[in-house]
Structure 1
Amino acid sequence: MDTNPQLLAIAERLFYQRGYMATNMDMLARAANMSSRTLYKHAGSKSALVAEVLAARDRRFFEQVDGLDVRALFDALAVWIAQEGARGCLFLRILGETGAGEPSIVAAVLAHKARLREHVARIVQRDIGRRDEVLAGRIVLLFEGAVAASAWQGAAAIDAACGAAADLVTAARHP
């Protein structure tokens, strides 16, 4: 489906601020200034709309963090959180709300997280000169933890995770 970018932005904002379950199609239609019928014509279903929202968010996120080193990855996260807000990972929040019962949502979340893991693995390889899946996995956990902890600790969570990731990279360079 090729949903209107403005509708995707409105839906993303509402899903992020209110949650998936608390955001109904009537609310989305009002926010988008369209009838429910028009919304369903453009979006299909709520699960189809959220899958498109997640795909668009994935694209925007990776445009911002593409081609960086480990420190710059966390710097990009700080910018992302400053722009988008600190309410945790939208992908994981929606997955949690739906109980992994919507295949399109599960697929979007798994694709995003696999892409994040591969992106971090490439960054690690550039930083230390070799592939290290264990190190990449640890940095992903630090990254994900920083996303979650920034909701109550703000930028300090990102700074702490960045420091820990940099320490791991330094240790991997000089075993």
Structure 2
Amino acid sequence: MNIDTKLISVAEGLFDNHGFNSTGMDRLAQAAGISSRTLYKHAGSKNELIAAVLMTRGQRFLQRLEVDSVEALFDALAGWMCEEGARGCLFLRAQGELCSAVPEVTEAVLAYKARFAETVAQILTRQLGTNADAELVEQIVILIEGATAAASYRGMEAVASARKAASLLVGRARQ
């Protein structure tokens, strides 16, 4: 594993488990087993590192969504949560902690959320056999966002409930 890959992996774990503001660069360097100088050389600023972590995590999650139905999308979400944990969306947690004060993070969040919505639209189009209605895409995205947040305190039942609601919406769209 090269240093950039290791650094992003370590940073993702710390940010995910301890938050963005409470994870300092010294802690990141120590956890990665590198000097502060090496950390800054490879990561740039903390904000750049956060944006890189979000981009990498987003790519990893979106790769899991190469599915052909909304039901399979929720199954992929459940699988992700079983492996990664159900602590809510890391992107929304970053936005919430850092607000709009960090443009690199805001840009990463907005870019990911746009790609995610496009992915949902593509899945719906494959499932329905026609272009998905923008309102249906938005409804499914909101169900996924809600399930992701609610799973942190309701467990996987939140994902199962959202999956059922999404399936009903898709069924209505077919009529």
Structure-to-structure mapping, 1:137-156, within 5 angstroms: 137-156=138-157
- Who is 1:67 aligned against? 67
Question: d(CA) in 1 for partners of 2:6 and 2:68?
Answer: 29
Question: d(CA) in 1 for partners of 2:64 and 2:120?
Answer: 14
How many positions carry a matched residue from both structures?
173
Cα RMSD for the two superposed structures: 1.2
Question: d(CA) in 2 for partners of 1:172 and 1:3?
Answer: 48
- Who is 2:163 aligned against? 162
- Who is 2:30 aligned against? 30
Structure 1 gaps of 5+ residues are none
Structure-to-structure mapping, 1:90-105, within 5 angstroms: 90-105=90-105
Cα pair 2:87 2:149 within 8 Å, conserved: yes
Cα pair 2:68 2:126 within 8 Å, conserved: no
Q: CA deviation at 1:148?
A: 0.2
Q: CA deviation at 1:33?
A: 0.8
Q: Counterpart amino acid of 1:130?
A: T
- Who is 1:20 aligned against? 20
Question: d(CA) in 2 for partners of 1:142 and 1:83?
Answer: 20
Q: Counterpart amino acid of 2:100?
A: A
Q: CA deviation at 1:3?
A: 6.3
Q: CA deviation at 1:42?
A: 1.0
Partner SS, residue 86 of structure 1: coil
Cα pair 1:51 1:104 within 8 Å, conserved: yes
My pick for the range that moved more, 137-146 or 32-41, is 32-41
Cα pair 1:14 1:23 within 8 Å, conserved: yes
Cα pair 1:3 1:43 within 8 Å, conserved: no
2:78 corresponds to 1:78: yes
Question: d(CA) in 2 for partners of 1:34 and 1:9?
Answer: 14
- Who is 2:174 aligned against? 173
Q: CA deviation at 1:129?
A: 2.4
Cα pair 1:95 1:109 within 8 Å, conserved: yes
Q: Give CA deviations for 1:70-101 in whole Å, capped at 9, x if unaligned.
A: 00000000000111111100001011111111
Question: d(CA) in 2 for partners of 1:113 and 1:3?
Answer: 28
Q: Give CA deviations for 1:118-159 in whole Å, capped at 9, x if unaligned.
A: 111111112222221110100000000000000011110000
TM-score by length of 1: 0.96
- Who is 2:136 aligned against? 135
